[in-house]
Structure 1
Amino acid sequence: MSWIPALSGVWPWVVLACVPVGIVLLYFLKLRREPVEVPSTYLWSRTIEDLHVNSLLQRLRNSLLLLLQLLAVLLAAFALFRPGIRGEANSLGRMVFLLDTSASMQAPAGDAKGPSLSSPGEGGRSRFEEARRQIGDRIDTMTDSESAMLVTFSDRAEVMQAFTSDRNRLRDALDRCEVTNRPTDILGALRAADGLANPRRTSEIGDVNDVQVADAMPAELILYSDGNFGDVTQFSLGNLQPTYVAIGSDAVRNLAIVSFSAQRDLQNPDQIQVFATVLNTGTSDESTEASLYIDQNLVDAATVDLEPEAQTGLSFTIESSDAVALRLQLDGEDDLKVDNEAFAALTPSGLVSVLVVTPGNRALELGLTTPKSQQISACEFVTPDYMETDAYQKRASSGRDDLIVFDRCRPKAPPLTNTFTMGALPNDGWKWKTESGALTLIDIDRTHPVLRYLELYSLLVFSGRAVEGPAGSLTLVESDVGPVMAIASRDGYQDLVLGFPLVSEDESGEMQANTNWYAERSWPVFLFNVLRNLAGAAQSSGAPSYQPGQTVMARLENVLESVEVVRTVGQGRAESLGKQPVGAGGVVEIVSTSQPGNYQLIAAETDQVVDRFAVNLFDARESRLATQPTVELGYESVEATEAGIEVRREFWRPLLIAVLLLMALEWWFYTRRLA
């Protein structure tokens, strides 16, 4: 038998103890009657008895009413102690509750032995709600000598309540827990629990003066999850004794969109190509319609028929030259809704802005004005003396251009945009490694997008130098004297440096070729790659996609002071997430990305959309809803179990019913006595 008092503090119990005392005192009191004159007092025995009432108190006599009243108060007081019993539980005295709050926990709890076909919205309980209920039942069974800790985890861990024996605090922390749309990573939660059971040392183990921060204290690790996370091998449980309480069902229904993207055709910018992948992560055959929406208008649809663990690709072609918000929706009902929608966005079809600073270079001009290059870029050619004007200073500090090309020249200060420098060094972070001389190219990095589809081994370079970039720079082309092409990051921008010019001047000032590259087919391809990847033509029309909860770093024009973040979901619903200040270099940090949807950054000064991005789950592991029978935790396979701990049986409800029956019985005796 155990007790969980319902009243807290001393004074409520003192008041309760005074109740039976007050009842008894009432039976000691004598009733003071009014005098009544009658012809003969011998005919009125009760009146004769009342004539002797001349004091306040009387002797306590046997009274069934008194006994019933005292018994009712005693049972009510007994019920307030909440007596109960529970089965024997092998408890270590300290428990760590790990509660999975990832997206898969939104699925119905179902029956572990049968299909999960009911949804939480139809009266069924979700996995998260079921796990929270089981944790609440376990908290109710805790004794005063036990303590517990509550940790939630999705792709990150959060300690909701540190170790405490206060059940009210644990319940309050449990009420604050919320399910998320994020993927699962349990390692952070395990490390949070590891701090108690496996305390760290203050110095090296071999140090004779070493002392422990705290004694190692075993703890029971109780994991409430569906097990849909990767194996945890780089972790040692130590004194943690794991128990895996499986939440969910082995038979599930779920179709998931695991990828969704859109891009404009570079040959025809008005044409949009949309691609998606749908995966059947359930245990039964599924069939549904996939509907494509542009700005909430249905434009196309496709039928999806998939067997378990099968996937299919969908493709759509639509026409639009404007900025659009795309949404792909699976119309069928299944066990998880968050992966039934996917979002993407496109900016208006347009050209990237490129400023070319050169004293004269016909080969460079021809390479940047090919038909393909003109479809994606607008190039402006100026001489080096333009860099001394106020117009250039304003242009370089505003980030107006997507790329600036410096041919045999360099600015006094690096501009706030990406740069491509040929035959010179962009800033003080770069330096020459060798003197000028003939070069032979021996290796190129074809994996980098700038050098894709290139063959450069046949090039002749009459004069060039090896370059050395700042820390973190990447060598793209290696020669016999060292790197001759490298790229490095600079405060969110990229600088590409080529160690030799395309043309040079002889002693008489006449222009002459320094390499035969301009006559090779690889030259216009190289410049096209630079426009696509360094100027951003490849990304100018497609908005990036992030997973829920990720921090988004957007780089805007630094002339903006703040932007408003707006999220758009299905049925045209738009929600403002507040204003965000624009930091140094035009960087905006957005952390309110917990919900899937299309996000827009709107300039506060002009109300124009300056950037877009999408948030989608896109996690095949998270969409696989079948409960895992075992999980790998720290080189140990943990079998799934049921709740395991017997729910506490409390007797306060029967006691209160007995109190009501005694009060009814006491009323019956009282009315019969008066009759």
Structure 2
Amino acid sequence: MSWISTLDRWQWALFAAVPIGIILLYFLKLRREPVEIPSTYLWSRTVEDLHVNSLFQRIRRNLLLFLQLLAVALAAFALLRPGIRGQTSAQPRSIFLLDASASMMARDTEGRQNRFETARKMIRDRIDAMDDRETAMLITFSDRAEVLQSFTSDRNRLRAALDQAQVTNRPTDIIGALEAADGLANPRRSSTTGDENDVQVADPQPADLLVYSDGGFRDVEGFDVGNLKPVYRKIGSDQARNLAITAFNADRNVEQAGAAKAFGTINNFGASEETCNVSLYVNGQWRDSASVTLGSGEETGLSFSLADQEDAATLEVRLESSTGGSDQPFEDDLLIDNYAYAGLRPLRTVSVLVITTGNKPLRLGLSTDNAAKICVPTFKSPDYLQTPEYAGRAEAGLDDLIIYDRCRPEALPNTNTFFIGALPSDQWSWASEPGQTILVDVDRTHPMMQYLELFSLLIFQGRAVEGPPGTRELVGGDAGTVLALAPRDGYQDLVLGFELITTGEDGSPQTNTNWYAERSWPVFLLNVLRYLAGAADATSAPSFLPGDTIRLRVESQLESVDIARGNGTPETVPTGASGSVEYVDSDVPGAYKVIANGKLVDLFCINLFGGRESDILPRESFDLGYETVETAGTVETRKEYWRWLLLGMLALIAVEWWLYNRRIA
């Protein structure tokens, strides 16, 4: 039997005055008016009554007084909350790790309560079961850990900290919470040298590590539990239902002006087959819909085509009911991943410097209607490389891309480059002799190789190239790599192993390939502008996870920008050096607009997009260091009897009231 007092000492002092007051009431004299009595029948009762109300008369046996004092005693015992502990803790210290990630919002527990509230109730019951000798601390974790209450034996402080805990939209990472717990339970030595100055900085503090989670985090390798005794309290149902949007993005079609496409992936992480409608909304207006049916563990991809979408736009895809109205949300156990957001950023132009003696195919390719929308080219002769203007331009990185056609600078610029028929530096070399080249392989997974058909090209004189470590082959020929991409101190160099235009013996220009006459040539240049020059960054809005720090770059002359989710209230964010912007209020999923001087300058999106969060079927175990932590079979409980004591007190008060009205004293 154990006791948990619900009153402080001063409150007990006030309570102790209650039985004293009851006893004093029986000593009080009653004020009576003299009454003439025609008979002596009542004299004996009158004398007895005077004796009872005499101040110094001994209290006679009184059933009502006994019942009243017994009721007060029962109330006192109830306030002490007597109870019997069930499964007792092996350690006097407990560390509560409460999962506050997005998957804990799943409503698959009893009464459709979400997992977080269920876990919080379990922790509260455990706190109520503590005695005065036990201490505990509370840590919540999502993608980062937060210590809400350090070690204390004050149950009220633990309950208050537990009330402050909030579930988040963020993914799960338990590492930070484990490190916080490990720092107290497994103190390290002051140094690792092993000399005489190496001392133990604190005594080890063994503790029960109680993890309340659905297990939606990675197994932890290389973690030594030491004095921690891990206990896993699994939260969630094995029959949970969840359809989730795990990917969604939009991009403009480089082959068709004004056209765009949106792509999404839908997964069924639940235990049964589900059917729903997938609807696309552009700038808040319905645009298209499709029906999907997925069995347990299945996934499918969807695409939506958009026409006449040259302006910036926000896109949203929703999972909606297939049986209710057209706009009724799909009701599964986790709602946050039933919505996803993407955006088409406002078109902007990139600066391209072209160093060439003359290249008509290159000039024409950069002046097409599609290229002109995103590119401002500047053509210079190779003599320009020797001017101070070029030196300052290259050092400052004023251009998004520099194309060197059959020439090479003394030092590479601080920007991305594209070399045609030339090598960037001594780290590159020719891997074959000049000769007719046949293309045999294309890396279609790279963005610059999309929508290209190159095997019909004729190349009269070409050579294979060999780059520094990390070089990636984009196009391979019969003699080796023909088109290669290599990283360079944060920049990238693209090298083409053959010339487009050569110079004849008489000094006249001659074609070296028929590529300029193929449809793939302007498409390739658009891919180069989009990927290598950064124009693609101005097309598809980037997506971040909830809680990420968002780093953007706007025009450097702007002092601040306004950032708002959808049509919500904007938040003014100052710009830093070179127009950099950092935004941290990113917990809520949605499409965010960046506005300056009343004009939309950028877009970004916040999406969950986490398979581990959407896969809400709870795990039975997880690996922690060198051991496997299984689901705990029993939960520590405490049986309390204060409710029965209060019921007994009320019963005594009812009996006392009945006896009083029956004039029984």
Which TM-score applies when normalising by structure 1? Answer: 0.78
| Residue among 604, 612, 615 paired with 2:606 | 615
Whole-angstrom distance in 1 between the partners of 2:260 and 2:6: 66
Output the CA distance in 2 between the equivalents of 1:54 and 1:645: 55
CA positional deviation for 1:659? 2.1
8 A Cα contact 2:212 2:235, kept in partner: yes
Given that 2:366 and 2:377 are in contact with CA atoms closer than 8 Å, whether structure 1 keeps it comes out as: no
Match of 1:234 among 222, 228, 243: 222
- Does structure 1 retain, via aligned residues, the 8 Å contact 2:109–2:118? no
State the one-letter code of the partner of 2:68: Q
In structure 2, C-alpha distance between the alignment counterparts of 1:383 and 1:243, rounded to whole Å: 70
* Alignment map for 1:248-263 (pairs within 5 Å): 248-263=236-251
Taking a change above 3 Å as real, the CA distance of residues 126 and 363 of structure 1, as seen in their structure-2 partners, is: same
Paired-residue identity, %: 47
Residue matched to 1:7: 7
Question: Relative to 1, partners in 2 of residues 1:409 and 1:519: Cα closer, same or farther, differing over 3 Å?
Answer: farther
Unaligned runs of 5+ residues in structure 2 are 321-329, 417-422, 433-441, 474-483, 501-506
Q: Which residue of 1 aligns with 2:396?
A: 414
Summarize the Cα distance change of 1:161–1:643 in structure 2 as closer, same or farther, 3 Å threshold: farther
Structure 1 CA distance for aligned equivalents of residues 486 and 623 of structure 2: 44
CA distance 1:523–1:438, change in 2 (3 Å): farther
Paired residue for 1:668?
658
Matched, 1:325 2:314: yes
Shift of 1:142: 0.7
Tell whether 2:622 aligns with 1:631.
Answer: yes
- The Cα of 1:36 is off from its aligned counterpart by 5.3
Deviation at 1:48, TM superposition (A): 6.1
* 1:654 match: 644
> Are positions 1:544 and 2:542 aligned together?
yes
Distance in 1 (alpha carbons) for counterparts of 2:370 and 2:44: 125
Q: Residue 139 and residue 439 in structure 1: after superposition, are their counterparts in 2 closer, same or farther (change >3 A)?
A: closer
Residue 198 (structure 1) shift:
1.4
The answer as to 2:592 corresponding to 1:599 is: yes
Q: 1:94 to 1:437 in 2, by over 3 A?
A: closer
Q: For 1:630-665, what per-residue CA distance to the aligned partner results, in whole angstroms no more than 9, with x for missing partners?
A: 21111211221245212x222222222222222232
Q: Is the 8 A contact 2:353 2:402 kept in 1?
A: no
> Does residue 377 of the first structure (1) align with residue 346 of the second (2)?
no
Q: How many residues of Structure 1 are paired with residues of Structure 2 in the alignment?
A: 611
Q: 1:127-170: CA deviations, max 9, x gaps?
A: 11111111111111011111112111122222121111111111
1:341 alignment partner in structure 2 = 339
1:374-410 Cα shifts (integer Å, max 9, x gaps): 35434253779xx9xxxxxxxxxxxxxxxxx999553
What are the equivalent positions in structure 2 for 1:552-563 lying under 5 Å apart? 552-563=550-561
Corresponding residue SS for 1:575: coil
SS at match of 2:124: helix
Deviation for aligned residue 1:590: 1.2
| Matches of 1:523 and 1:51, distance apart in 2 | 121
How much has 1:59 moved relative to structure 2? 3.1
Alpha-carbon separation, structure 1, partners of 2:53 and 2:169: 80
Residues 109/146 of structure 1: CA separation in 2 closer, same or farther (3 Å cut): farther
- Between 10-19 and 411-420, report the one with greater CA deviation: 411-420
SS at match of 1:410: helix
CA-based RMSD of the aligned residues comes to 4.4
Match of 2:148 in 1: 160
Against the structure 1 CA distance between its residues 60 and 96, is the aligned structure 2 distance closer, same or farther, given a 3 Å change threshold? Answer: same
1:343-492 → structure 2 map (5 Å cutoff): 343-348=341-346, 350=347, 352-354=349-351, 356=353, 362=359, 366=363, 369-371=366-368, 374-381=371-378, 409-411=391-393, 414=396, 418=400, 420=402, 423-424=408-409, 425=411, 440-442=429-431
Contact kept, 8 Å, 1:373 with 1:531, in 2: the verdict is: no
- Aligned residue for 2:74, secondary structure, equals helix
2: CA distance, partners of 1:474 / 1:435? 15
| Cα distance change of structure 1 residues 415 and 96 upon mapping to structure 2, 3 Å threshold | same
Q: Which amino acid aligns with 2:15?
A: L
Deviations 1:422-468 (A, max 9, x none): 544477999xxx9999984349x98986799899996689xxxx999
In structure 2, give the amino acid aligned to 1:411. R
Q: In the aligned structure 2, how far is the partner of 1:173 from the partner of 1:485?
A: 54
1:529–1:273: structure 2 CA closer, same or farther, 3 Å change rule?
closer
Distance in 2 (alpha carbons) for counterparts of 1:556 and 1:297 = 28
Partner in structure 1 of residue 80 of structure 2 = 81
Against the structure 1 CA distance between its residues 200 and 624, is the aligned structure 2 distance closer, same or farther, given a 3 Å change threshold? same
- Are 1:272 and 2:269 an aligned pair? no
Structure 1 356/18 Cα, relative in aligned 2: closer, same or farther at 3 Å? same
In structure 1, how many angstroms separate the alpha carbons of the residues matched to 2:354 and 2:304?
Answer: 41
Change (3 A) 1:71 1:520: same
1:14-49 Cα offsets, whole Å, 9 max, x none, are: 222222222223323333544556789898455667
Counterpart amino acid of 1:108? R
Cα separation, 1, equivalents of 2:494 and 2:261:
34
Q: Per the alignment, in what secondary structure is the counterpart of residue 301 of structure 1?
A: strand
List aligned pairs for 1:89-100, cutoff 5 A: 89-100=88-99
How far apart, in 2, do the equivalents of 1:43 and 1:352 lie?
114
CA positional deviation for 1:343: 0.9
Q: SS of 2:26's equivalent?
A: helix
**Is 2:160 aligned against 1:172?**
yes
Paired with 2:254 and 2:425, the residues of 1 have a C-alpha distance of 39
Aligned-partner Cα distance in 2 for 1:664–1:97: 44
Mapping of residues 53-68 of structure 1, within 5 Å: 56-68=55-67
Q: Tell me which amino acid in the other structure corresponds to 1:103.
A: A
Q: Is the 8 A contact 2:74 2:645 kept in 1?
A: yes
- Contact map agreement 1:363 1:518 (CA 8 A) in 2: no
Report the AA paired with residue 129 of structure 2: T
- Secondary structure at 2:208's aligned position in 1? strand
| Structure-1 separation of matches of 2:594 and 2:573 | 9
Q: What do the CA deviations read for 1:320-379 (whole angstroms, capped 9, x no partner)? A: 22222111111132221111111111134x452426486975569626635376354342
Change (3 A) 1:457 1:220: farther
Letter paired with 2:229: Q
Counterpart-to-counterpart distance in 2, 1:54 and 1:310: 87
The whole-number CA distance in structure 2 between the counterparts of 1:485 and 1:619 is: 31
Q: Which range moves more in the overlay, 577-586 or 356-365? A: 356-365
Distance 1:142 1:457, change over 3 A: farther
Aligned partner letter, 2:571:
G
**Cα deviation, residue 316, structure 1:** 1.4
- Residue 395 of structure 2 contacts residue 414 of structure 2 at CA under 8 Å; is this kept in 1? no
1:391 aligns with: none
Partner of 2:569, secondary structure, is: strand
| Structure 1 residue matching 2:663: 3-state secondary structure | helix
* Residue aligned with 1:190, SS: helix
CA contact (8 A) 2:234 2:631 kept: yes
Measured in 1, the distance between the counterparts of 2:236 and 2:99 equals 12
Equivalent residues of 1:485, 1:499 under 8 A apart: no
- C-alpha offsets along residues 517-554 of structure 1, whole Å, 9 cap, x if unaligned? 99986998875454222432223221011111111101
Query: What residue number does 1:507 align with?
Result: none
